[in-house]
């Protein structure tokens, strides 16, 4: 299902006064922010600020205690991952998250088969499905995995696994993609390669917005259009990178000192 077109001023998705409590612990309080078309938004904050909780709420893994999450004008609080994928929001995870025994081609085919609704007939051939196979190759091309199509995922390098994880999120043709530390656990040299591939691929694949959680301030500064900073579960800032990095107080609040991580 293709997402509905949206005008530039209507947010692709937004959270409205979202709070999330785990027992007595308030992980998020009253967070409102929005993401518009063609934006690359970074969510930053020290450990325990609530970044991952926010992504989990936004992607329907957790239901907010109060408040609303809207995607393309529709309340999606707690809809669950399958419905979310169908609506056009996909997610890649902080830790490498692959199907170890499947090849790159098969991994992409899993996502494409769900998007094309191919999985309900158990007697349909996977190999002879030209549309599905061509699409797997297209996505692999976009993320530079073409030469790895028939490699088993567990034999890939760490950087390639990360790309594969992201590629399978891309294969859903989402409107918005959420990346939880897309470069964590990857060497510094690979980080920039991955980010370059990612941004280029998102453009080529027609993804309308990227939201990432990121610790590496170099990457945040270089790629974001906007920074959403969290501290202790509350919204600290929602501003352009230039303004953010010009404010020593902001940087100190988020990373202590401006050290490279």
Which positions touch another protein (CB under 8 A)? 59, 80-82, 84-86, 90-91, 93, 97-102, 106-107, 109-111, 113-115, 118-127, 129, 132, 144, 151-152, 155-157, 159-160, 163, 165, 168-169, 171-172, 187, 189-190, 193, 196-197, 200
Shortest distance, CB of residue 41 to another protein, whole angstroms?
20
* Interatomic CA distance for residues 133 and 152, integer angstroms: 17
* Minimal distance, residue 7 CB to another protein, in Å: 27
Q: Is 111 exposed, middle or buried (0-12, 13-18, 19+ CB in 10 A)?
A: buried
Query: 149, 140 in Cβ contact below 8 A?
Result: yes
Q: 25, 233 in Cβ contact below 8 A? A: no
Measured between alpha carbons, how far is 56 from 119 in angstroms, rounded to an integer? 27
Q: What are 176's strand-pairing partners?
A: 89, 209
- Distances, alpha carbon 176 to alpha carbons 1, 41, 62, 218, 242, in Å: 14, 11, 18, 23, 24
The answer to whether 177 and 207 are in contact (CB under 8 A) is yes
Closest separation between CB of residue 61 and another protein, Å? 9
Q: Residue 203 CB, nearest distance to another protein (Å)?
A: 14
Shortest spacing between CB 97 and another protein, in angstroms: 5
Q: Which of 43, 132 has the CB closer to another protein?
A: 132
Nearer to another protein, 15 or 59 (CB): 59
Spatial CA neighbour of 94 closest among 187, 162, 145, 140:
162
* Nearest to another protein of 36, 91 (CB atom): 91
Residue 69 vs 171, nearer CB to another protein = 171
H or E stretch at 4: none
Asked whether the beta carbons of 178 and 89 are under 8 A apart, the reply is yes
Round to whole Å and give the CA distance between 102 and 104. 7
Name which of 78 and 248 has its Cβ closer to another protein: 78
**What's the closest the beta carbon of residue 37 comes to another protein, in angstroms?**
23
Please say which residue, 6 or 199, places its beta carbon nearer to another protein: 199
For 124-258, strand residue ranges (E) read 176-180, 209-213, 226-231, 234-239
Shorter beta-carbon distance to another protein: residue 69 or 169: 169
CB of 234 to another protein, least distance (A): 28
């Amino acid at each position: 299902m293709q997402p509905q077109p949206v005008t530039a001023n209507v947010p692709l998705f937004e959270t409205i006064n979202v709070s999330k409590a785990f027992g007595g612990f308030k992980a998020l309080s009253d967070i409102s922010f929005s993401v518009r078309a063609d934006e690359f938004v970074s969510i930053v904050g020290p450990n325990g600020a609530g970044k991952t909780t926010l992504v989990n709420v936004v992607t329907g893994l957790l239901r907010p205690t109060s408040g609303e999450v809207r995607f393309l004008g529709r309340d999606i609080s707690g809809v669950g991952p399958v419905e979310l994928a169908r609506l056009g929001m996909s997610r890649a995870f902080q830790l490498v998250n692959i199907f170890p025994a499947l090849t790159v081609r098969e991994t992409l085919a899993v996502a494409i088969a769900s998007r094309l609704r191919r999985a309900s007939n158990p007697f349909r051939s996977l190999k002879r499905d030209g549309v599905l196979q061509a699409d797997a190759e297209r996505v692999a091309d976009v993320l530079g995995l073409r030469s790895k199509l028939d490699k088993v995922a567990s034999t890939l390098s760490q950087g390639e696994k990360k790309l594969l994880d992201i590629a399978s999120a891309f294969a859903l043709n989402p409107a918005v993609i959420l990346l939880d530390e897309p470069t964590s656990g990857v060497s510094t040299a690979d980080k920039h390669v991955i980010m370059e591939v990612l941004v280029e691929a998102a453009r080529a694949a027609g993804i309308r917005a990227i939201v990432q959680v990121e610790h590496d301030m170099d990457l945040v500064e270089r790629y974001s259009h906007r920074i959403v900073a969290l501290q202790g579960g509350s919204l600290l800032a929602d501003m352009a990178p230039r303004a953010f990095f010009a404010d020593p107080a902001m940087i100190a609040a988020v990373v202590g000192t401006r050290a490279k991580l």
